[in-house]
Amino acid sequence: MSVRPDVGLERLIHGLELELLEAADEEFMAGARDLGMNPDMKGSAAFLGVKDLSPQLLSALRLAYLARREGEDA
Amino acid sequence: MQAPAARALAMKLVTNCDLLRLKVIARLHGRSLPPDVCWADLLQEAFARVLDGSRAIPRAVPTVAFLAGVMRSIKAEHWRRRRRATEQQPVLATEYQVVMAETAEACDPQPDPERWLIAAQQLQAIGTLFANDPVALQIIAGLGDGLTAEEIRRTLRMSKTDYDSARRRMRRALIRAGLTMGVSE
């Protein structure tokens, strides 16, 4: 790569993102099944971090909620 | 509390398969996030902005592509915020400039040292992902240089069939990596 790493990485991510946007649905389903996951099942590990909230985000939401409550109480 | 992505699914804004696709894309963007933000936050924030109406999906743009664009824009916001917060670190900046002078072309007057280091590590990590696929590594180098698919194919003198086959292998590896790793990675 002939550019700075940060520039190269962003370009690479953009190029790979386009690949992923063009990929068929079946490629994702097959990818999950290859890993032993069943995306059709409720609570499938394939959706870890997607259908649930990360601890960091939960904490940020709690803080935002408390700040809003305090603003309303004041 | 329901995650914004789960809410979007319940509202039929996206399908389960869209969520898998977006997870893999978020994971990819997660490779160039500041250290205090994780890919799952990026993904949920993008959904939250669409759901609260602060980012409206244009009619002509597919929802998944739009959400990917929102993630890109949120990532840039995080870096801007991070840069403002770390502007007062002259020692790190000085050390970084020494490294930069040896390895970089002079194209940006003030690159972010932290972002530079994270990017270098992640480029290496992506390279490891395709270590057994020399063709994929060449394609990656081309994408990093900003070449289009057609330009890469021409430069590598590859047939369309071989190129498409390499792209399929790359997608498979990305999907596998994107669905395997943990939440905070």
Per-residue confidence in pLDDT tens, chain A, 74 aa: 778 999 999 999 999 999 999 999 999 999 999 999 999 988 888 998 898 866 666 666 677 767 877 887 77
Do the Cβ atoms of B157 and B166 come closer than 8 Å?
Answer: no
Residue matched to tokens 């690159």: B111
Question: Which 33-72 residues of chain A touch chain B by CB within 8 A?
Answer: 34-35, 37, 39-40, 46-58, 60-61
Domain of residue B43, residue span: 1-85
Digit-coded pLDDT (tens) for B158-176: 999 999 999 999 999 999 9
User: Looking at the structure, do residues A32 and A5 belong to the same domain, yes or no?
Assistant: yes
The reply to whether B156 falls in a domain is no
**Contact residues, chain B, for A57 at CB < 8 Å:** 40-41, 44-45
Summarize the confidence of residues B29-36 as an average pLDDT.
Answer: 93
Task: Show the CA angle centred on residue B116, arms to residues B111 and B117, nearest 5°.
Answer: 150
Interface size between A and B, measured as CB pairs under 8 A: 171
Total structural domains in chain B? 1
User: What stretches of B3-89 show up as alpha helix (H) in DSSP?
Assistant: 4-10, 16-30, 39-51, 63-85
Do the Cβ atoms of B48 and B2 come closer than 8 Å?
Answer: no
H or E element at residue A56: helix A55-73
Domain of residue A19, residue span: 1-36
Check whether B107 has a pLDDT greater than 90: no
User: How much is the ipTM here?
Assistant: 0.84
Check whether B2 has a pLDDT greater than 70: yes
Please name which of B68, B79, B86 lies closest in space to residue B14, comparing C-alpha atoms: B68
The reply to whether B168 falls in a domain is no
Check whether B106 has a pLDDT greater than 90: no
User: Looking at the structure, do residues A53 and A74 belong to the same domain, yes or no?
Assistant: yes
Beta carbons within 8 Å of B10's beta carbon, 6+ residues apart? B2
The reply to whether B37 falls in a domain is yes
Contact call for B28 and A20, based on CB within 8 A: yes
Contact call for B174 and A57, based on CB within 8 A: no
In the prediction, which pLDDT does B99 show?
Answer: 43
